[in-house]
């Protein structure tokens, strides 16, 4: 199926792509309110170590993407996504039954492996029909739908915890994943024709990897996504501690967390309106510069004026997440633009390697959490400077 670059697809296409893309955010954010009690029930000594269930999910998703991308190029998009959903649901069932900490960690890794299918292959589906600014526009709208997950998921998780404890959050994931898989299978046709498929062999896969690595703009934006993704994953992992332990927000944590997500949704919709006129590079550079400046200023505040008040933190939170909403869709589209002929493998490598770059950075930030936001804002400031330097280098080259 070839789609026109000039027109937007229908609501069903956008909604389903948003659901596929948001599976990782949903699986992460729905259990954020449960991290404290989950750690206590499963005997975790250091509360900072509960963030491991977030990190290992992203690790599973990163490694899974390296497999599902080439598989989707060889066997088509639909079957890989459906099998990914099946593996994700199996991981959720295992999480519900987990009786010790390391079984929970293994189950979350399995969920990440399964989530890789819908998450990365959905990008390849979009790239099958769109490219350039048109793809960035579509991805911005999908990101706006995606943002509903971190708005709704913590609220949903909090409600499920009240009803059935932390195990009920995984039942909630199953209740979302099953109808999503059926809706996708019924409504979205296969987008990769037989004559455009690449055999699933080590030689062809390595050839595709070398092609991605030789494409300088793709590698630059892959590293940029990794640098910014590191402190962002740390923010997700430590958000409960920041709101409930540092700012004593209690159950209002889910509301304050959702406010940041609404900001990202607004940014994605604004980007969809502006990108056709101003281009992906200009908008992403402006957003990255803003993110770096506001994080550096708040980092300086924490170092010289002490711990910032809650209102100042919320201003920074909504602002930096707004910038993230402008950055992620554009960065991904810029990286994918030259690689439409290997879209599945390229999307897989981009997602996997950028996440593997992010994870050590996120662990560095979250493991140094010391009842202050200093490690978090410092991480964003440093990552922003590194990203801006790479983006400038790519433009000059």
pLDDT at 35: 76
For the cut 50, the answer to whether the pLDDT of residue 78 exceeds it is yes
Residue 345 burial (CB < 10 Å; 0-12/13-18/19+)? buried
* C-beta of residue 101 within 8 angstroms of C-beta of residue 43: yes
Closest CA to 232 of 357, 358, 364, 370: 358
Residue of 168, 169, 46, 42 whose CA lies nearest to 101: 42
**pLDDT tens digits along 282-297:** 899 999 999 999 999 9
The lowest-confidence range among 1-5, 90-94, 142-146, 206-210 is 1-5
**Nearest CA among 116, 358, 388, 120 for reference residue 233:** 358
Q: What is the mean pLDDT of the chain?
A: 84
Length of the chain: 397
Domains, the chain, ranges and CATH? 11-189+199-396 (1.20.1250.20)
Query: Does residue 172 surpass a pLDDT of 80?
Result: yes
Q: Is 202 helix (H, G, I), strand (E, B) or coil?
A: helix
- Which tokens is 327 given? 């950055």
Mean pLDDT for 39-48 is 72
Residue (of 386, 392, 266) closest to 319 by Cα position: 266
Place 7 in a pLDDT band, splitting at 50, 70 and 90.
low
Least Cα distance to 142 among 319, 225, 264, 310 occurs for: 264
Give the mean model confidence (pLDDT) for residues 208-224. Answer: 84
What's the whole-model pTM score?
0.75
Model pLDDT, residue 147: 67
Q: For the residues 78-100, what does the mean pLDDT come to?
A: 92
Query: Distance of alpha carbon 270 from its chain centroid, rounded?
Result: 19
Using 50, 70 and 90 to split pLDDT, how confident is the model at 383? very high
SS3 199: coil
pLDDT at 295 (0 to 100): 95
pLDDT at 235 over 70: yes
What percent of the chain is modeled with pLDDT above 90?
24
pLDDT tens per residue across span 151-167: 788 888 888 988 888 89
Cβ partners under 8 Å of residue 190, min gap 6: 1, 76, 77, 78
329 class by beta-carbon count within 10 Å (0-12 exposed, 13-18 middle, 19+ buried) = buried
The DSSP code sequence of 112-149 is HHHHHHHHHHHHHHHHHH--HHHHHHHHHHHHHHHTHH
């Amino acid at each position: 199926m070839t789609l026109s670059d000039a027109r937007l697809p229908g609501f069903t296409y956008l909604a389903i792509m948003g659901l596929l893309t948001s599976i990782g955010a949903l699986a992460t954010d729905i259990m954020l309110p449960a991290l404290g009690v989950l750690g206590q029930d499963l005997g975790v000594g250091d509360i900072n170590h509960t963030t491991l269930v977030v990190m290992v999910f992203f690790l599973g998703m990163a490694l899974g993407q390296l497999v599902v991308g080439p598989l989707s190029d060889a066997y088509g998009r639909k079957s890989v996504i459906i099998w990914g959903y099946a593996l994700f649901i199996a991981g959720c069932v295992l999480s519900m039954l987990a009786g010790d900490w390391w079984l929970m960690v293994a189950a979350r890794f399995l969920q990440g492996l399964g989530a890789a299918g819908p998450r990365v292959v959905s990008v390849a589906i979009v790239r099958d029909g769109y490219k350039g600014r048109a793809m960035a526009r579509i991805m911005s709208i999908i990101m706006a739908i995606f943002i509903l997950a971190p708005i709704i998921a913590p609220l949903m998780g909090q409600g499920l915890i009240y009803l059935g404890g932390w195990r009920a959050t995984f039942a909630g994931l199953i209740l979302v994943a099953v109808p999503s898989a059926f809706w996708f299978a019924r409504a979205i046709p296969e987008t990769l024709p037989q004559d455009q498929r690449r055999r699933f062999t080590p030689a062809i896969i390595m050839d595709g990897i070398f092609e991605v690595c030789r494409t300088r703009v793709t590698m630059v934006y892959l590293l940029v996504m990794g640098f910014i993704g590191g402190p962002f994953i740390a923010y997700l992992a430590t958000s409960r501690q920041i709101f409930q332990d540092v700012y004593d927000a209690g159950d209002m944590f889910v509301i304050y967390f959702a406010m940041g997500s609404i900001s990202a949704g607004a940014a994605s919709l604004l980007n969809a309106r502006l990108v056709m006129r101003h281009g992906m590079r200009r908008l992403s550079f402006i957003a990255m510069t803003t993110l770096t400046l506001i994080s550096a200023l708040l980092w300086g505040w924490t170092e010289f004026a002490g711990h910032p008040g809650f209102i100042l933190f919320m201003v920074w939170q909504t602002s930096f997440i707004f910038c993230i909403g402008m950055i992620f869709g554009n960065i991904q589209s810029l990286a994918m633009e030259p690689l439409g002929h290997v879209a599945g493998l390229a999307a897989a490598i981009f997602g996997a390697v950028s996440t593997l770059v992010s994870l050590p950075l996120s662990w560095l930030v979250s493991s140094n959490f010391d009842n202050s936001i200093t490690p978090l804002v410092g991480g964003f400031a440093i990552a922003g400077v590194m990203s801006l330097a790479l983006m400038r280098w790519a433009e000059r080259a």
